[in-house]
A and B are shown apart, each in its own frame.
Chain A
Amino acid sequence: MVGIVLVSHSPRIAEGTLDLVRQMVGDKVPIEIAAGTADGRLGTDAAVIEEKIRKVHGGDGVLVMVDLGSAVLSAEFAIENLGESLGSATVIADAPFVEGTVAAAIEASFGKSLDEVRAAAEGVKAYSKLG
């Protein structure tokens, strides 16, 4: 199953998002949070992101969800640090954080591939909330 790592500046954003996701898919999908700095500031930490990617990686790849600016840079840094085999099975979704995570987790819970899970996350950009 594809694993998911939530990279946010704010632990509360990531935890709240994870709550929403768990409500829908339960504990089936391995999801980890890498949010905030070790000393409690808003921010991202490439070393923690790398550690969490390794933790959720079960052989089918990892999707990384990111919020703003430095989340992307830190995630890219972490992925490069993973080495060739793990790094090439880890991708960042270019997607809205909350909606993208929900869509990705649902897709992953059906045992879909990394490409399909990523496409689900990125696909939410086309949804209209007002119908």
Chain B
Amino acid sequence: MAVDSAKLIDIIKVIADKITENREYLTQLDSAIGDADHGINMSKGFRAVVEKISDMGEKDCGTILKTVGMTLVSTVGGASGPLYGTAFMRAGQAVAGKNELDFNDLVSLMEAALEGIKYRGKAERGEKTIVDALEPAVEALKLRREEGLETALRDAVEEAKKGMEYTKDIIARKGRASYLGERSLGHQDPGATSCYIMLEAMAARLLDGKKS
């Protein structure tokens, strides 16, 4: 795997497209246990991101990821702004100055993103948040690192999906949904869902590029 700046911008655009495609679905999930704006907020944020990074092909990957983060914190509006914003900023710091990313860089930036989200949200696994999808995915990436990109990525996406589905069975401890307490049971977490959608989009683009 080799991802240069142009390819990274391309991957972020694919993520933005998937978020926009799922805007209504994410908002619908959020209307059940939150403030019904996750889909709208995320698509607004990623639309601004695409505008900002489209002509950044000459910049290094770290700068591009940091720009994604800074754009999200000032355009999303909801908690996912500072959460995903911090994740992308930390990911950018992890690969600062690199013009090309390999598989090890991917693992490093995903680990940094997870740490960033946990730090910003003061969240652990099992609290019905983004962490429930992201942490299992990052663990799978690390665990399957030796088996190569394709196996590791497919496994990471699969684990993120399981984590996302698991959020239906747990009570929200963070954010607006925590006001609902037990009434949040049975509902899938919007943040874990947007995280899964982003990971799946990234993996699909990475593996697609590998075959071609």
A74, closest chain B residue (CB): B82
Task: Name the residue on B nearest A36 (C-beta).
Answer: B77
B75, CB-defined interface residue at 8 Å: yes
A94 interfacial by beta-carbon distance below 8 Å: no
Bound CA span A38–B81, Å: 14
| B71 (CB) vs chain A CBs: closest residue | A47
Stretch at the interface among A55-63, A65-73, A116-124: A65-73
Return the chain B residue nearest A46 by Cβ: B73
Interface residues of chain A: helix, strand, loop or mixed (majority): loop
The answer to whether B82 touches A76, judged by C-beta atoms less than 8 angstroms apart, is yes
Does chain B have a CB within 8 A of A125? no
A45→B77 contact, CB < 8 A = yes
Decide yes or no whether A42 CB sits under 8 A from chain B: yes
Cβ of A11 under 8 Å from chain B: no
Residue of B nearest to A37 (CB): B77
Please name 22 pairs of A and B residues whose Cβ atoms are closer than 8 Å in the assembled complex, sorted by A: A36-B77, A37-B75, A41-B40, A42-B35, A42-B37, A43-B41, A44-B81, A45-B74, A45-B75, A45-B81, A46-B81, A46-B82, A47-B70, A47-B73, A69-B175, A70-B77, A73-B81, A73-B83, A73-B120, A76-B82, A77-B85, A77-B120
Q: List A residues at the B interface (Cβ < 8 Å).
A: 9, 36-39, 41-48, 68-70, 73-74, 76-77
Given A43-B76, A70-B79; 13 other pairs, CB 8 A cutoff: A37-B44, A37-B77, A38-B74, A39-B44, A41-B44, A41-B77, A44-B77, A46-B85, A48-B74, A68-B176, A69-B79, A74-B82, A77-B86
